[in-house]
Amino acid sequence: MKRRAWLQLSGAGLAALIGERNLKAVSALPAEAPDRPVILPHPQSISYGTQRINLTDGDRLAVSIEAEPEAGPEAAEAAQMIAAELSRRTGRTPSLISKHGPGELPIRLHGFKDSRAGKETEVEGGYRLSVTRQGVEIASRGAGFRYAAATFAQLLEQDSAPRVREVEIRDWPTFPWRGIYVEVTSGACMTLADWKDLVDWASSIKLNLISVGLYNCWERETSVLDAEYFLFPSRRYPQFKTPVRSYTKQEGRWQEQTALPAMYTEDFLGEIVAYGKARGVAVSPYFSSLGHNTVIPRLMPEISMKDEQCRPIGYGFCTTCPQTYEVLFNLYDEIIERYARPYGVTTFNVAMDEVQHACQCPSCQVAWKGEDNFYVEHLIKISRHLKDQGMTRVLVWNDMLHRSGLINKDLESRLAAAGLEGLITIGWWYYEAPREGYFAPDESFGRAFFRPNVGIEAWAVPSNGWDTTALLGATRATANEALVRLVRRGEERGADGVISYSNHDPIFEQGYVNASQYAWNPAPAMADTQDRYARWLFGDDHESGSRALKTYNDVYGIYAELAEAFYRRPVPPKLGGAIDSVRGPGLEKVRLRDSVASVDSAAQALAAIQMRIKDPGKAKSVGMYCAEVRRLGAFLRLTLAILNCTSAYDDFRSQRDSAALGFLTQRLEELRQSGEEHTTVMREISDVRYTPSLPRILPYEQKAQDDAQQLIAMFSEMERRGRAGQTNFLPEIVIRDQDFFASGIGMVLP
């Protein structure tokens, strides 16, 4: 559906979650009656009856579950999943037998029996599920049983005495592969328990792939910390390791520390892969080589790219140096032997995005036949090796091939000549959402994505959220919309997978729901998907919850520039620079005051909802949203207090009387209070946000806090002078550029 059309469908509460700020509120078309259960992702075809069937009879769990042996181990496994869900809710164990007792509702799992053909019978992962007074019938094959069981679990209403409504579902995945790529930055700080939670969450929303970033780097001038990540302990090259910034709680206080990633020290990747396999989620490796590669070339300069003087540049690989491939393939082999082959994983992501340099050594110059050869030859060489090692899918990001116009018939024939037909899948990544009807001159998304069709498989790579540094509003504003557009374009143009680029953080939950929805079934309007998510999360409070998030989004929208100018990776500007960047209507006095007030009431609404939610996981999510809303509120209040204080100080400079001084004192007190509020918010963020994300959130908040304290010290000094009658020199204070105190600050403060 065109964006304009779905905007018309979205109502005020629903628009909240989309991040669209200027659309008119129209009445919403509910996806289905509110008393119906929410299934995530929403099935391809579903029709409810009117009756509800109780699964308990007094104290007894009145069901029996039967999986036909001919339906295979997946049916038996799905039967176990259903049994586990029922016993989790009721504390009782249902019977897993082939004959059901009197008064028991039979739940039967079997192959497709009747001759009714449909997509659900044709597509791998498809299933039919019907609930009637006679029983629950689940027909499927293979992985489809697991999806049917996941759907059944979501159909259950109420916990202690579950019941289920009459329903007929026909369902199948539109894209065979539905996954997420977990970027090294978040992966590096995740514990084994965090990874298992992620696998469980992915499995519950019918995703079947997690690609784990094992090696990725960024060229950053500031520090190698937060720039280089190597997440598995190579036995062959123990020198490759990267300390990362993380936070741990000690005696109730958060401490920043620098330590090797947990995945590295505990070497638990194999355990994650096994855990995923048991839950229908393939966990596959990701390893960068040409671009995003600085640790290996820094520690092994002989295989680094070289400059004209043949000096190693500490980036990428010299591709004519034989030792390069020896090292790279040894690393590949180690990864495959330890983390892929034992678990039947045959997908390997080689990334190869954003290659910034090329080797200038004499032998590379002799071999140089143009960029395409350098790049494509490397791709062919590594893919051939991975194929020899049993990999059946090599995933490569599109950007380098696409930008150089290399996705063409020539590439297809070169791959065929190298015996690599059907091996490579191109991941087309795009996270922006250009406005409908506008040309985006710097992006070829609309013009060329997924083209030309040259017999190389394609996956769509949207993002469900990746920047934890930015306030959540930044993700909401573009990612949700962009995801739907990219996935639908992929579907039109024959892509067969969707993998989201993610820095994993549960605060992107809604992004995950969107990714799973549009990869499974791209048909529903965005507004309906958002509405379902709100009902799933907030339950009876979904209207006020949606409204609170809409308020957050609207306010974030007004101050996006201000917030983004401050929360910008890798190094934030000073708070003064951020404030200076927004001179437009965003800083209008009344508007800023009103915005702060409306964000406060949104936070209060979310806090109240959080108290009412019984499910601890959902309460935690709402708590995270609440802290995020407070973070925006505290940041804006700090801004408001700074501007008010500056203006009161200017009055005092002109008046130099006690009334103006009194007013300055009052404004200064407000600024101190907002500094304290910000400290409280920082503590709350540390407690409720996802711990692995703290290294990418807290340094920014600390910077805002430090800047605010500097400002407070500055105004306090001026106020002290006023009280002491030393008013002959009161310098102008300008909030500008990278500097708060543009004129003469060095002269007046120690």
Binding residues for Zn ion (CB under 5 A): 318, 320, 359, 361, 364
What's the sign of the alpha-carbon dihedral 43, 47, 52, 57?
negative
The smaller minimum CB distance to Zn ion, of residues 4 and 311, is found at 311
- Closer to Zn ion by CB, 294 or 480: give it: 294
Please report how close the Cβ of residue 354 comes to Zn ion at its closest, in angstroms. Answer: 19
| 318/499 with CB nearer Zn ion | 318
Task: Compare residues 61 and 359 and give the one whose CB is closer to Zn ion.
Answer: 359
Both tokens of 111, joined, read 């192959």
- Assess contact for 83 and 93: CB atoms under 8 A: yes
User: Closest separation between CB of residue 325 and Zn ion, Å?
Assistant: 12
Q: How far is CA 191 from the centre of its chain?
A: 17
Long-range interactions of 534-542: CB distance < 8 A, separation 24+: 534/13, 534/14, 534/17, 535/34, 535/38, 536/38, 536/40, 537/509, 537/618, 537/621, 537/622, 538/609, 538/613, 538/622, 539/613, 539/618, 541/609, 541/612, 541/613, 542/13, 542/34
Quote the least distance from Cβ 361 to Zn ion, whole Å: 3
Nearer Cβ to Zn ion (303/733): 303
**Each residue of 244-267: b (16+ CB within 10 Å) or e?**
bbbbeeeeeebeeeeebbbbbeee
- Closer CB to Zn ion, residue 359 or residue 641? 359
| Smallest gap from residue 288 Cβ to Zn ion (A) | 18
Q: Cβ 301 to Zn ion, closest distance in Å?
A: 12
E strand or H helix that includes residue 413: helix 409-417
Phi and psi at 215, nearest 5°, equal -150, 120
Q: Residue 173 contacts by C-beta under 8 Å, 6 or more apart in sequence? A: 123, 124, 125, 126, 147, 206, 519, 520, 521
- Find the shortest distance in angstroms from Cβ 358 to Zn ion: 9
CB closer to Zn ion out of 297 and 434: 297
For the bound state, the minimum distance from the C-beta of residue 644 to Zn ion, rounded and expressed in Å, comes to 59
What is the smallest separation between the CB atom of 317 and Zn ion, expressed in angstroms?
8
Among candidate residues 628, 595, 685, the one with its CA nearest the CA of residue 471? 628
**Residue 310 beta carbon to Zn ion: minimum distance, rounded to whole angstroms:** 8
Of 509, 525, 513, 499, the C-alpha closest to 176 is 499
Q: At closest approach, how far in Å is the CB of 240 from Zn ion?
A: 21
Cβ(57)–Cβ(127) below 8 Å: no
Nearer to Zn ion, 82 or 359 (CB): 359
**Beta carbon nearer to Zn ion, 204 or 360:** 360
Burial of 623 (0-12, 13-18, 19+ CB in 10 A): buried
Single out the residue of 178, 250, 186, 251 nearest to residue 213, CA to CA: 186
Please state the closest distance from residue 352 (CB atom) to Zn ion, in A.
17
CA dist., res. 487 & res. 497, Å (int): 9
φ, ψ for residue 289, nearest 5 deg: -135, -60
Q: Pull the structure tokens for residue 26.
A: 């129209």
- 262 vs 359, beta carbon nearer Zn ion: 359
Pick 203 or 304: Cβ nearer Zn ion: 304
Distance, CA of 264 to CA of 240 (rounded, Å):
10
